[in-house]
Amino acid sequence: MAICYQSPFKPITTLSLPRTHQTRKTRPCGVVVVIRCSKTQLLSTEPEPVFTSVRSFAPATVANLGPGFDFLGCAVDGLGDHVSARVDPSVHPGEVSISEISGDNAKKLSKNPLWNCAGIAAIEVMRRLGVRSVGLSLSLEKGLPLGSGLGSSAASAAAAAIAVNEIFGARLSTEELVLAGLKSEEKVSGYHADNVGPAIMGGFVLIRSYQPLELVSLKFPAEKELFFVLASPDFEAPTKKMRAALPTEIGMPHHVWNSSQAGALVAAVLQGDVEGLGRALSSDKIVEPRRAPLIPGMEAVKRAAIEGGAFGCTISGAGPTAVAITDDEARGRAIGERMVEAFMVEGKLRAEAVVRRLDRVGARLVSSIPR
C-alpha cells in the first residue's frame, strides 16, 4: 500500500457559494462564508475538455491550530504541491493514470491512482463530472515532505481535484471539490477536512459539521500582518500513528477549556488579533500533551519559540513540524533559529525553519493549454 502521508466582531454574513474557484478568491473583509455540502448529483451531460493540459498548485496547511482538533485549519503561502493533467488518448476513457511523480520522497509514492492521494481525488472528480469518454494522465510534483504535519496528502489531493475540474471547464463547486479531496484523505489518513478544506479554499477554515459536511471560511483582515514560523525536523510522524496516541475519552474540564480556546481562536482570526491567536493556539490540553512526547524535543521547541517572542506555538497537524505565530517577519526568522536549535539540542534532530504568510487563495490553476 503506497501512502501520501502523508474591535468588536465585524458583521457575519452567509453568502451563496460561487461555482468555480476562480471567482471565490476575493471576499469582503470581515465576512464569514458558510459552505454547506449537501448530497450532489452527477452532471447529466458529460462535459468536454476545454484544455489539452493544465497545471495546478495547492498550498501546505496547518491543521488543528492547537485546540481546534479536526475542525480548524489554515493554508500557508509558498509551500505546496503541483499537479499537471493532460488529455491522454493512451489512457482508457473515463480513467486516470499517473505518469510521473517527482520531488520530495517521490519513490515512496505509488503510481497506482487507486493508492495515490492525487489519483483518488482525480478519479472522484471524474466520477462527479460524469466523464466517460476521455482519459487523463497526471504528473505529481511533491513540494511537501511526507508525514510532515503540513498537509502533504491534502495538497496532492487538492491540486489534482482542481486540475481535473479545470480541464473540463471548472464545472464543480467548491464543496464538491472538498468532498473529492476528502475521499482521498479518508483512504490515506482519515476522514478529516481541516487540511483539504483550507488547501482548496485558502485562508482559515472552520469545519462546523461533518454529517453533513459544512465548512466556514474565516476572513483574517487583509491589513493585518500574520506570519507562520514552521520548524520541520528530520523526523516522520505518520498521521495514523499520531492519531493512535489520542485519548478515547476526555474530562469535562478539558472539554470546556478547549472549547473556550477554540472560540477565542476564531474570534482572534476575525478581529486580526495575532497575539490572541497565538495565546489560543498554544492552549490545547487534550491532543498536544499526548503527541508532543512522541516528537523528540517538541516541548523545548515550544518554550524556545515563546521565549524568542512568538505569540504562540503548537504542533502543526499531527507533527512533527512545530508552528509559531508572530506579526513580524524578521522576528519570525529569529524565532525559527531558536526552534531549530532546540530541536537539535533537546531532540537530537536536524531541522529547518521557514517563515511564511497566510495563503488566502487556496488551490488554483497555474497554467493551461487550450484545446
The residue ranges of DSSP E strands in the chain, in sequence order, are 32-37, 51-63, 72-87, 96-103, 136-142, 204-210, 213-218, 227-233, 312-315, 322-326, 351-357, 364-370
CB 56 within 8 A of CB 199: no
- Which ranges constitute the DSSP H helices of 42-151? 117-129
- Cα 40 from Cα 32, distance rounded (Å): 23
Q: Which three cell numbers stand for residue 258?
A: 478547549
Beta bridge partners of 329: none
Active site positions, annotated: 185, 239
Whether residue 6 is preceded by a cis peptide bond, meaning omega within 30 degrees of 0, is: yes
How far is residue 28 from each of residues 31, 218, 223, 302, 357, measured CA to CA in Å? 6, 11, 12, 35, 19
Closest listed residue to residue 304, CA positions, set 203, 199, 364, 233: 233
**DSSP-assigned beta bridge partners for residue 210:** 213
Residue 204's Cα: distance from chain center in Å?
A: 10
Q: Do residues 270 and 9 touch, judged by C-beta distance below 8 A?
A: yes
CA distance 141 to 9: 41
Distance separating alpha carbons of residues 206 and 28, to the nearest angstrom = 18
**Residue 61's closest CA among 332, 321, 336, 350?**
321
Residue type at position 145: P
Neighbour-count burial for 33-56, b at 16+ CB within 10 Å, e otherwise:
bbbebeeeeeeeeebebebebbbb
Q: Say which DSSP state 358 is in.
A: B
Residues 6+ apart with CB under 8 A from 209: none
